[in-house]
Structure 1
Amino acid sequence: MASDFSMLPVDLLGVIALKLETFEDFFEFSAVCRSWNRASSSVKHQWTATPIVPWLLLAENNQDNPDCVRKIFNLSNNKCYKFSLPETFGARCWGTSYGWIAMIDRNLDVQLFNPITKAQIPFPSLKPPRTYFNPRSGESYQNWFLDSSADKVIVLKVPQNDHYEFVVMLVRQHCYSVAIARHGDQWWTSVSIKSKGRMLDVVEIDDNILALYNDGSIVSLNVKEFNALEHIKPVDYSPCGHELFVKFNRGHVYHTYLVRSGSDLLAVLRYREQVGNEKDDDDIFCQTIDFEVYRFRTVDKSWEEIDDLGEVALVVGRNSSMCVSVGHTNGLQRNCIYFTDDYHLFWGSVREPGGHDTGVFDFESGDIWPFYEGDDIHSIFSPPTLFIPQF
């Protein structure tokens, strides 16, 4: 007689679920049937996993897709999961390491969205006053405003007394304008920018919010108790840094990311090469060709180049920058940098649309290879983004 495992007691199923080691196993356990889902839901807050691997939220598919199904690729086992995610369609998305996707939708509303649980955390809208809609109007204006509203969205988990709260930072207009908000705020608060400076990236380390500028200097931002009626003024943390931060090196387009690796603060320089016919804008695209990584020395507040990342992988691109511990079973390669396409200037290229510049960089050999090669990676609107899944 066949056994009906869906009839097992919920308490017993919960004990079994807590013995699962990976997020993938726990996730698939919860999808077996309703009783297994109830059991996993009852214990998920007690469950801890081995190092969790980023998942890739792939580009939306608007063709013959009435259920708004969107695929998510698991880098650990090379599997694609299908989710009905109408909430993400038409929105620009940025991944985070906290299970959330930061989104700005066509109505210019901002929220954090968990694609696994469908939970949502609203943030202040970016919709301007009605008078701002002249002389433009309609969808074309919305596209223009959405383009200008955020080049990058960074999500931080900030300690507040006996709990943590999420803070969202919008880096806008080529890094010359930054705004910040917490859940529950009514509007966005401006962050004062250094004269002639561009804020490149932001990271939380030792309960401090540190921002890297294009001259290599670092400032500290006190966002724990900011007053939404006043600008946040950066406080100098270190002087200008290595000359690599202040100029285009070797004639290539580059991007700089700030990453926390344990107690270390790393600056990751990504070099791109412009390819294609310069006389035809639709034929030009950029391709990543190299990375360099620098560690910040707290002793003398200088940067030193490093040649080995150790037992970790760095994740940069269209997401909040991450550092992931590499285990024996989680599928990631040590001493590598996983990157997604975030240089939107040439996303409209006919030859290589947005999303093509995604892959893995081996820090030791300098080799680059793709980690996903499906057809649903391209989008001129919102290419794929990496996030750490959480319940």
Structure 2
Amino acid sequence: MADWSNVPKDLLLKIFSTSEIPDILRTAAVCVSWSDAVHELRCSRRHLCNQSPWLMFSADDREDNPSAARFYSLSEQKTYTIPLPESSIRDRLCVGSSHGWLITADQTSELQLLNPITGAQIDLTSILTYDHIEPIRNERGRLTSYIVDTLEVVDRSPDYPPPEYKLDKLRLCMYFKVILSSDPSRGDYTVVVIHNPYRRISFVRAGDNKWTALTSDYMYDDVVFHRGQLYASAAGQMFLVVLDLASPIESPGWWCRRSRLRGSTVARTWWRLPVVTTSYWRYDIGVFSYEDLSISRILPSEAPPVSWPPPIWFMPSLDRAW
């Protein structure tokens, strides 16, 4: 009988780098030598194959661990329950997912990066460094709420004071979209936010102590990083956004006419709809086909119902911040 523990480590690393993350984690339990190979794979930051997307949704209210999150693997058609560090995932609002990390807003509306596979977390620069947000504190100096300046004027009329938000309520209307330029475990990354009021763009780089707002009259609909460049869409137009004026600006390209479009996936979180009230029951998840106008389930019928926060697509990663 072959002794699988004697498989050369170089061969194991090559095999593991082409495997799905659940399979990699399972192999670590086979024997000591395989566990060492998995550890080296993670420490060496070796490039893994493209992972199949997961759908993340919070654990059911009836489960014992409120800090756990559930992930549904499309390739395996299997649900995983993963305990997450510190505060309950149900107390956080997931506002984005990028490069294997979740972007969450806690009960004070502050942003954190979280890798649910490794448990690594990164606190982002405070929301108080936005120019349009003013903290309100009680007599003991404790933060109690935020005032958000929604008018770009010097002299505000006393008849129209700026709105005040509770600590956990600002996140519901503040963050429109949040993305990362690269894997934050590398230490060199940029976080870009489309935020209210007026769906403006702000960004912060790793190590910055303040959010930087971009001056613009547009209300942005979407942002995406592509080959190191940031692109934004607004009013039916596409813009190349330059975050570093010291870098040379290349041609942004031109419009390419497309006669045929291929299928793609679309995910929507319906809590943003104004018609949704507090008298709801559960969320549901499905796939809508434009071809035959049918709806099919993603999750198996035996899966528990979806609860708050709303589900989000997630690409798993083994990288962690050092």
> Could you state the TM-score of these two structures normalised by the residue count of structure 2?
0.72
Q: Aligned residue for 1:179?
A: 202
2:311 — aligned with what? 384
Aligned equivalents of 1:25 and 1:340: distance in 2?
29
Determine helix, strand or coil for the equivalent of 2:208.
coil
Give the structure with the larger strand fraction.
1
How many Å separate the matches in 2 of 1:336 and 1:119?
Answer: 31
Q: Does 2:27 correspond to 1:22?
A: no
1:101 aligns with 2:102: yes
Aligned equivalent of 1:192: 215
* Correspondence for 2:267 among 331, 334, 339: 339
Q: Against the structure 1 CA distance between its residues 144 and 69, is the aligned structure 2 distance closer, same or farther, given a 3 Å change threshold?
A: closer
Match of 1:57 in 2: 56
Question: Which stretches in structure 2 are left out of the alignment for 5+ residues?
Answer: 147-164
Deviation at 1:100, TM superposition (A): 0.8
Superposed displacement of residue 28, structure 1:
2.6
8 A contact 1:124–1:187 mirrored in 2: yes
Which residue does the alignment assign to 1:70? 69
After TM superposition, give the deviation of residue 372 of structure 1 in Å: 2.2
Which structure's relative contact order is higher, taking Cα pairs within 8 Å and 6+ residues apart? 2
Measured against aligned partners, the alpha-carbon deviations of 1:283-332 in whole angstroms (never above 9, x if no partner) come to: xxxxxxxxxxxxxxx54x37x565432xxxxxxxxxxxxxxxxxxxxxxx
- Structure 1 position 82, deviation (Å): 1.7
8 Å contact 1:151–1:174 — kept in the other structure?
no
8 Å contact kept, 1:152–1:172: yes
Taking a change above 3 Å as real, the CA distance of residues 38 and 348 of structure 1, as seen in their structure-2 partners, is: farther
Judge conservation of contact 2:176–2:199 (CA < 8 Å) in 1: no
**Partners of 1:308 and 1:364 within 8 A in 2:** no
Q: Which residue identity does 2:178 align to in structure 1?
A: V
SS in 1 for 2:193: strand
Inter-CA distance 74–199: structure 2 relative to 1 (3 Å threshold)? same
Q: Residue 144 of structure 1 corresponds to which residue in structure 2?
A: 169
Cα separation, partners in 2 of 1:174 and 1:359, compared to 1, 3 Å: farther
CA distance in 2, matches of 1:337, 1:16: 34
Alignment of 1:294-309 (within 5 A): 298-299=253-254, 301=255, 304=257, 307-309=260-262
Structure 1 runs (4+) greater than 6 angstroms displaced: 2-5
Structure 1: where are the runs of 5+ without partners? 227-234, 239-297, 310-334
Identity among equivalent positions (%) equals 21
Does 2:128 align with 1:131? no
The 8 Å contact of residues 178 and 190 in structure 1, kept in 2 or not, is answered as: yes
Deviations 1:329-379 (A, max 9, x none): xxxxxx3414242552355453465x43x4334455454423125334232
Among 204, 223, 232, the residue aligned to 1:211 = 232
Aligned ranges 1:1-391 → 2 under 5 Å: 8=5, 12=8, 15-20=11-16, 21-23=18-20, 24-30=22-28, 36-44=34-42, 45=44, 47-66=46-65, 68-87=67-86, 89=89, 90-127=91-128, 130-131=135-136, 137=144, 141-157=166-182, 165-173=188-196, 176-194=199-217, 197-213=218-234, 215-224=235-244, 298-299=253-254, 301=255, 304=257, 307-309=260-262, 335-345=263-273, 346=275, 348=277, 350-351=279-280, 353=282, 355-356=283-284, 358-362=285-289, 364-372=291-299, 374-379=303-308, 382-391=309-318
Task: Name the residue aligned to 2:160.
Answer: none
Contact map agreement 1:73 1:81 (CA 8 A) in 2: yes
Tell me, yes or no, if the aligned pair for 2:95 and 2:104 is still in contact at 8 Å: yes
Shift of 1:36: 3.8
The answer as to whether partners of 1:157 and 1:164 remain within 8 angstroms in 2 is no
- How far residue 60 of structure 1 moved from its aligned partner, in angstroms, is 4.0
Aligned residues: 283
The 2-side partners of 1:375 and 1:306 are apart by 42
